[in-house]
Structure 1
């Protein structure tokens, strides 16, 4: 049949109605009594019995409500039993999720065509006022309540219902929405037909567009969001720009009955659908009419409209430009001549060569056009003819890149395979490009067309792991075989397959109540990070911990330990980790930083008394008051009291307690604070404050050595400037630390006079050092006398230059003169 036989001319453009499938639904299925909605890109069709219409009684079984999901060819994919209340919204997302909205605002999102769903509630008064209707777009929808309030959901993955601006009161005759992708505000806009005008409602305001040709019983926005189609009660249809500034066309249908639907066929024509009649309205009001024997349902897609009855599924679309160029009657385009040439060649006519010679300058262009036109054809016969023409043409061309030809052949094989009635995905070429091969594979997987999905993936060089995982997950859900057999079958099938996630398969098994099978499957998951979370959710705590330890990932081990600590009683938790040194070590290192109580419990559980005592000592050092520190040290001492290996530790703790008790008494009796100081610091502070008897008591108690005590006493007297005490010490016959430290400390403290008293007492030093000491104290005369004793003329001459007082200079001169004689 000539491909132009079903073309209809609207203005300057042609439209065609392509028959996709016949005998779609059983004749007993009363389509006129059903709500029908379809997913984009030739996707699945959902049927739900219209609650407002009477229907034939078919017994108690047939009267049960259900949502039936079909392919476009009429193959039942899934029947979802429904008993959750009145449905007010039934629609599809771009990725073929089925959305069901009930009157009380409950929303169910069926995400894989197999009855699995997630659920959320709209809120914002939906339960109180009730949902009246819903409008859907690719990633979200808007619900209209009985009080005219509008609730928007922009994403199904993380639904966050938001209330839009409040529109005015009044009867809503019809309404639609403009998706966020096509609005200036990048948020959804709703068009409400109230009275004779239309209100545009977004998140912040409700604006009256001041129209006076309503009321409008149907509104529809074009797929690109640039135009709006309006239908009035008087039977007139208007096409205007979506900003309501320009009226582009007007059409009078002259119909006495109101249409059931108004939608766009691409971006250039509008479809008005009655029960059994469809009008296609083109630019400037031109129209074409199509008639059907029964009720027809129209489903809009990006590049056309699907028309569905019990008998047939048609696709109405604008004829692509390249197809028009090739097939239009009377055309003399190079592509059309090339197509005629290949037909002449098949008839062995010499006109074939004449045609080639005629278009030889434009042969590359003709080949490209035939390749592109083949993609837009649903007829396999014409696909072949166009590809033959392209192949013939490129064989004549000297140089031609065949990549596009090969790619188109691959795409057409895929499209023809998925269009076959047993699959029922009637994708057009444009829809395929928009959908992408990866999404097509996902749709096939959801229909359990695993073999076809694998073949297409291999053919298009796409990864196949998702297909195998989905197959295996479905296997564990529905198979009636024993778990060992299922596990063996899955492992054998998926052996040596790259990228397989056994964790996902195991999770499916666990969700089905097959815990043992899930555990067995997880043994084949190579990534511990995938194994462990599922094992924890399956209550397989010890296996999860062992897997984490085997991985060597400390973060993963910590994650498991944290989960176990929060879930198990402490004793059980310690029992689990006691046989796993790595886990115990990680808990110990972590607890040292931020959970000392857990560390104490760990040491107590493992009977590690010394380590436990160290924790109490650490606590004691952190105490602000002496009594608290003493109590902690007492507890540490009790832990060490039964062990012979901790005598030194025990003695140290007892001494620390004694010191704290003494410091507690000092804090109470004296003005300064002593708690927290060491023995040396305590003695220093007592001596500095003048409490020498108490300092000696501390010395005696802790057997502080004489040298240490004298050093502390010297530092304390220097700090308190107790010069008289130091003079008293100078009369002592012997110093355990020698007298040089006294000289150096006094000199540093700025008292050279008192420092000089200790120079004669310093023994074991050279004359040069003694001369230097006298010099540092400013006593040049005494330094000169010391130099004279050693007969060191050079030092005497140096001292002569340093002598600033007349008497000193005279004495130095005298000693120099005496030495020179």
Structure 2
């Protein structure tokens, strides 16, 4: 049988396996505490930017009182740094664009851009402009090459493409409605963005949790969305990578997953002997339609977390099959099953969503949490008798000069092409070099017997 120790590292969530391989340990940087910094990491293993968080009171120890913007590669190796002297007030947020330009937005709406050498790129862009010079930005949400900003008076602005670096890319969106009995607009509890490539209009759509409801804001339209009674106010929201679902943390410590239009609500709970069937059905529905609501009650599983009534510090999708919630010291992975998976950390972490999982950055390591690919499961799952598992096992017998290798090949002769393909696919998803090499050898070994 295939190596049992491989599957021993997996965690089962519902009927699917997840793994969390360590990409880098230890990180190459020194004396870094993520909890003291604002952090931005480029996707696909790109550079990491750190700058001391000026919204926190921190002890400086031996470091300079002058803040530095520091850039590292994904292993923590220093690339460059520069002293932060930019005017405009407090740094609200920073993020990397698709072309690895670091975008920094300060309180007065000025956008500062840096390359990977920490060189300031001119000219700077002003989001608020002269018309709103007396406003301040209080929140921003980035996507790809754009950002959505919310001011202290609940005005919403969007930069559709930082590549143009022109005020023509700045769009003032429609104002959210004023709540009944209020003299001024209420600041949203949280903000989420549906990227333009996933909307029917081709323009960015912004979800604002205001009061007990959610409104969708576009350039010339505001639409109230039908949030289920009792769910609001929503404390945190995040849109899935395909733009079809919204994960939200409710005021009473529940995680709810809706369609982006909050339509055709389904409440879901695995129970009794139907659990497995319902989990499979739900995952199939998620792949086919985009208008269901799935609710996971997590309060029962979080008795050990004293602050479970508080919203998580970070909320992120792990692929399209599960949602991650991070509180201090605890990372919870929730899917459509009766038991979530929890990971304990004794240091702060930052969740970096990717298209096929989530990178987990800590002071000392970089990990990658992902759904185990089907090809890998077919080979390494304990007790697997799939053709790919038998081919991998046959190579082991061949290396030990055992006749069992020929016996395995005879058993899977009609399925050898599929077994070879599975080994190649699993090798492409593998992070361990020696295991990857063995999988390629198994594919080559099987290929020699294919007709």
The TM-score normalised by the length of structure 2 is 0.84
Q: In 1, Cα distance between the equivalents of 2:151 and 2:437?
A: 53
Report if aligned partners of 2:190, 2:234 keep a CA contact under 8 Å in 1. yes
Instruction: Give, in angstroms, the shift of residue 55 of structure 1.
Output: 1.4
Pick aligned residue for 1:167 from 128, 153, 176: 176
Residues 307-346 of structure 1 correspond to what in structure 2 (within 5 A)? 307-346=360-399
Which structure has the highest helix share of the two?
A: 1
Report if aligned partners of 1:104, 1:126 keep a CA contact under 8 Å in 2. no
| 1:271-330 CA-partner distances (Å, limit 9, x unpaired) | 101122111111246410011111111111111111111121110011112212221122
Report if aligned partners of 2:71, 2:116 keep a CA contact under 8 Å in 1. no
Instruction: Give, in angstroms, the shift of residue 164 of structure 1.
Output: 0.7
Name structure 1 gaps, 5 residues minimum. Answer: 399-821
Instruction: Give, in angstroms, the shift of residue 25 of structure 1.
Output: 5.9
Pick aligned residue for 1:65 from 59, 62, 67: 67
Instruction: Give, in angstroms, the shift of residue 3 of structure 1.
Output: 2.0
Instruction: Give, in angstroms, the shift of residue 114 of structure 1.
Output: 3.9
Cα RMSD of the aligned pairs, angstroms, is 1.7
Report if aligned partners of 2:112, 2:120 keep a CA contact under 8 Å in 1. no
In the superposition, relative to structure 1, how do residues 65 and 114 fare at CA in structure 2: closer, same or farther (>3 Å)? closer
SS of the residue corresponding to residue 208 of structure 2 reads strand
| 1:461-520 CA-partner distances (Å, limit 9, x unpaired) | xxxxxxxxxxxxxxxxxxxxxxxxxxxxxxxxxxxxxxxxxxxxxxxxxxxxxxxxxxxx
Pick aligned residue for 1:241 from 256, 259, 269: 259
Residues 93-492 of structure 1 correspond to what in structure 2 (within 5 A)? 93-118=97-122, 119-123=124-128, 125-158=131-164, 159=166, 160-168=169-177, 169-211=185-227, 212=229, 213-245=231-263, 246-253=292-299, 254=302, 255-257=305-307, 258=310, 259-284=312-337, 286-398=339-451
Q: In 1, Cα distance between the equivalents of 2:342 and 2:99?
A: 32
Report if aligned partners of 2:128, 2:135 keep a CA contact under 8 Å in 1. no
Corresponding position of 1:510: none
Q: In 2, Cα distance between the equivalents of 1:276 and 1:113?
A: 33
Q: In 1, Cα distance between the equivalents of 2:427 and 2:327?
A: 33
SS of the residue corresponding to residue 439 of structure 2 reads helix
Report if aligned partners of 1:97, 1:113 keep a CA contact under 8 Å in 2. no
Q: In 2, Cα distance between the equivalents of 1:196 and 1:340?
A: 57
Q: In 2, Cα distance between the equivalents of 1:126 and 1:92?
A: 26
Instruction: Give, in angstroms, the shift of residue 126 of structure 1.
Output: 4.9
Instruction: Give, in angstroms, the shift of residue 30 of structure 1.
Output: 2.1
Corresponding position of 1:81: 83
Instruction: Give, in angstroms, the shift of residue 166 of structure 1.
Output: 0.7
**Structure with larger Rg:** 1
Corresponding position of 1:4: 7
Q: In 2, Cα distance between the equivalents of 1:250 and 1:357?
A: 47
Instruction: Give, in angstroms, the shift of residue 113 of structure 1.
Output: 3.9
Q: Tell me if 1:30 matches 2:33.
A: yes
In the superposition, relative to structure 1, how do residues 148 and 364 fare at CA in structure 2: closer, same or farther (>3 Å)? same
Name structure 2 gaps, 5 residues minimum. Answer: 178-184, 264-291
Instruction: Give, in angstroms, the shift of residue 27 of structure 1.
Output: 6.2
| Greater CA drift, 363-372 or 207-216 | 207-216
> How many residues are aligned here?
397
SS of the residue corresponding to residue 314 of structure 1 reads strand
| 1:686-716 CA-partner distances (Å, limit 9, x unpaired) | xxxxxxxxxxxxxxxxxxxxxxxxxxxxxxx
The TM-score normalised by the length of structure 1 is 0.47
Instruction: Give, in angstroms, the shift of residue 26 of structure 1.
Output: 5.2
Report if aligned partners of 1:89, 1:100 keep a CA contact under 8 Å in 2. yes
Q: In 1, Cα distance between the equivalents of 2:111 and 2:199?
A: 26
Pick aligned residue for 1:48 from 32, 47, 51: 51
Report if aligned partners of 2:29, 2:78 keep a CA contact under 8 Å in 1. no
Q: More relative contact order in 1 or in 2 (CA 8 Å, sep 6+)?
A: 2
